[in-house]
């Protein structure tokens, strides 16, 4: 049957923002781009580029981006949150749906100096991705879910989704240096993003939003 006569498979991408961010940051360092960086990433374009590898009948339905704003740094490093907010505006301008969690304060005991240290941990992202995965599949909002992460915290949700929705397809798109063998066993199809691929899908500088607002690429991004 010609490809245009096939039933199109609605494909949703679920992005673990922090997992992808640290991957992109490492890629910039390993590629030695003289400070140019690869963090100004057009995530929707990157995801779309993998549809042909899945098959001609796969079409992009939605892209969901999960992250959190480091508001605990605003007093000392306000530029961190500002950069992230600008990047999120760029993602939204491409139609990506953004879901934000939060950072939670946590006291830990240093095993070396035996002192109490204050740390902040990103919370809710893994749960949010897991919940969205099950929602999309159970409510028949997509035929294929592509998880862009290498974090094994998502594994229980994937197992549950496979059991409850056996006709649905779950794939992994592992960020650079985030390939995981445990997760690889849970999916029929897996891909790994190469560092150089990030350079091929960068936002223009500046990004011009629908209202005419211009957002410039941060330095070293």
3-state secondary structure labels for all residues of 29-71: HHHCCCCCCCCCECHHHHHHCCHHHHCCCEEEEEEEEEECCCH
At residue 44, the pLDDT reads 98
Q: In which band, very low, low, confident or very high, does the pLDDT at 34 lie, cut at 50, 70 and 90?
A: low
Q: Give the C-alpha separation, 197 to 221, whole Å.
A: 15
Q: How many CB atoms lie within 10 A of CB 213?
A: 11
Residue 149 near residue 157, CB atoms below 8 Å: no
pTM (predicted TM-score): 0.89
Regarding predicted confidence, which is higher, 37 or 208? 208
* CATH superfamily of this structure's domain 8-215: 5'-nuclease (3.40.50.1010)
Tokens of 64: 């969901």
pLDDT tens profile 77-117:
668 899 999 999 999 999 999 999 865 555 565 566 766 55
Average pLDDT, the chain: 90
Q: Give the C-alpha separation, 82 to 69, whole Å.
A: 9
pLDDT tens profile 109-128:
556 676 655 554 666 899 99
pLDDT tens profile 121-153:
666 899 999 999 999 999 999 999 999 999 999
- State the number of CA atoms in the 13 A half-sphere of 92 facing the CB: 13
Edge-to-edge order in the sheet of strand 9-16: 97-100, 58-67, 9-16, 144-148, 169-174, 189-192
Q: Which residues are within 8 A (CB) of 32 and not within 5 positions of it... i.e. 6 or more apart?
A: none
Q: Give the C-alpha separation, 2 to 30, whole Å.
A: 42
Tokens of 130: 């897991």
Residue 205 has pLDDT above 60, yes or no: yes
42: left (phi over 0), alpha (psi -120 to 50) or beta: beta
Q: What is the mean pLDDT of residues 182-205?
A: 97
At residue 122, the pLDDT reads 65
Q: In which band, very low, low, confident or very high, does the pLDDT at 33 lie, cut at 50, 70 and 90?
A: confident
Tokens of 50: 């993998």
- State the number of CA atoms in the 13 A half-sphere of 7 facing the CB: 5
Q: Hey, where are the domains in the chain?
A: 8-215
Regarding predicted confidence, which is higher, 120 or 162? 162
Q: What is the mean pLDDT of residues 184-194?
A: 96
Residue 73 has pLDDT above 60, yes or no: no
């Amino acid at each position: 049957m010609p490809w245009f006569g096939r039933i199109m498979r609605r494909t949703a991408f679920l992005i673990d923002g922090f997992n992808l961010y640290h991957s992109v940051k490492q890629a910039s360092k390993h590629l030695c781009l003289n400070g140019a960086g690869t963090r100004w990433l057009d995530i929707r374009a990157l995801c779309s580029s993998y549809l042909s590898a899945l098959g001609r009948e796969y079409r992009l339905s939605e892209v969901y981006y999960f992250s959190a704003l480091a508001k605990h740094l605003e007093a000392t490093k306000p530029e961190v949150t500002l950069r992230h907010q600008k990047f999120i505006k760029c993602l939204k301008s491409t139609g990506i749906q953004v879901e934000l969690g939060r950072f939670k304060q946590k006291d830990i005991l240093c095993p070396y100096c035996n002192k109490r240290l204050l740390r902040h941990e990103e919370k809710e992202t893994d749960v949010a991705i897991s919940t969205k995965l099950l929602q999309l599949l159970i409510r028949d909002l997509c035929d294929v879910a592509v998880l862009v992460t290498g974090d094994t915290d998502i594994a229980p949700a994937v197992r549950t989704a496979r059991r409850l929705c056996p006709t649905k397809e779950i794939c992994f798109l592992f960020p650079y240096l985030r390939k995981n063998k445990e997760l690889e066993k849970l999916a029929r199809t897996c891909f790994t993003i190469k560092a150089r691929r990030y350079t091929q899908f960068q936002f223009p500088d500046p990004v011009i939003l629908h209202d005419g607002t211009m957002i410039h690429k941060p330095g070293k991004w």
